[in-house]
Amino acid sequence: MNAPLTSVLPLQAVIFDWAGTLVDYGSLAPTQIFVEAFASFGITVTLAQARGPMGLSKRDHIRSLLADPAIQQQWQQRFGAASADADIDAIYERFMPMQIAKVGQYSQPIPGAIDTLAWLRGQGLKIGSCSGYPRQVLDVLLPLARVQGIEPDHVVAGDDLAAGGRPGPWMALANVIALAVGDVGRCVKVDDTVPGILEGRNAGMWCVGLTLSGNEVGCTEQEVAAMPAEERSARRKQAAARLSAAGAHYVIDSVADLPAVLQQIAQRCRAEGHR
């Protein structure tokens, strides 16, 4: 049996988000389904509102949307009372089959993701992942992604852990345990959402935020390419500011740019004596 490859860099693992990070450029699959799920109850939710809590587990996402004053006002006008936990459950039960049915349409790898994962493996780094998607949704997404070349060493779903999801550190730390990583300070969390960056920081990891490919910009690759340069720059800058404010150590356009950043993190680790 071949011995495990020793990391070339002074790092041990990279923990990725899924939608907007490895697959689904623009993180479109979950956003549209939230809009449609609320619409089935007669509640209008805009795409911008639906994107606001992205990165949370889907049940927490629904809870957060119902806490939005404008959405809550609609709910009370329609149903004559404030929303309760039973209403969150009802929306979630409506959301789940819709998300399961649609997620496969958004399983395409983000350009550069396959090459980046191959590069990480060549460096001897372990590859973890976690998602706000429930396990039932990942059970559909993962085989489709695997066929296309996206297969981390470990995956944690948004409803796998009793402790909860983002912005808590638990999903990221579950990867650390499963991958037998000895130092969270030598792990890098890569995510396109504010809760995902907070998750990585709360877990004590280096954090890299993604702008153009992710939820903060929220456009397809074709839409981003067609944007006037000034608009694309402004959208990138706005996304970078939000991710940096959440604690991202570095911010890049997409996962394709990650190897260069990991080299910079490695240099800082060596300078600080973490080998």
Quick: pLDDT tens for 144-171.
Answer: 999 999 999 999 999 999 998 999 999 9
Burial (CB < 10 A; 0-12, 13-18, 19+), residue 227, is middle
Q: What is the pLDDT of residue 275?
A: 41
Domain 29-105 has CATH 1.10.150.240: yes
Q: How does the average pLDDT of the chain come out, rounded?
A: 93
pLDDT confidence tier of residue 3, bands split at 50, 70 and 90: very low
Considering the chain, what percentage of its residues have pLDDT values greater than 70? Answer: 96
Does the annotation count 17 as an active-site position? yes
In the chain, CATH 1.10.150.240 sits at 29-105
Q: What is the pTM of this model?
A: 0.90
Give the whole-angstrom CA distance, residue 258 versus residue 117.
10
Residue 149, phi-psi category: left (phi > 0), alpha (psi -120 to 50), beta (remainder): left
Active site residue 126: no
Q: How much is the pLDDT for 30?
A: 85
Residues of the chain with CATH 3.40.50.1000: 13-28+107-271
Instruction: Please name the amino acid found at residue 170.
Output: W
Catalytic residue among 58, 60, 126, 160: 58
The pLDDT value given to residue 6:
55
Classify domain 13-28+107-271 at the CATH topology level.
Answer: Rossmann fold (3.40.50)
Q: Is 124 exposed, middle or buried (0-12, 13-18, 19+ CB in 10 A)?
A: middle
Per residue in 87-100, pLDDT tens? 999 999 999 999 99
What is the reported pLDDT for 7?
61
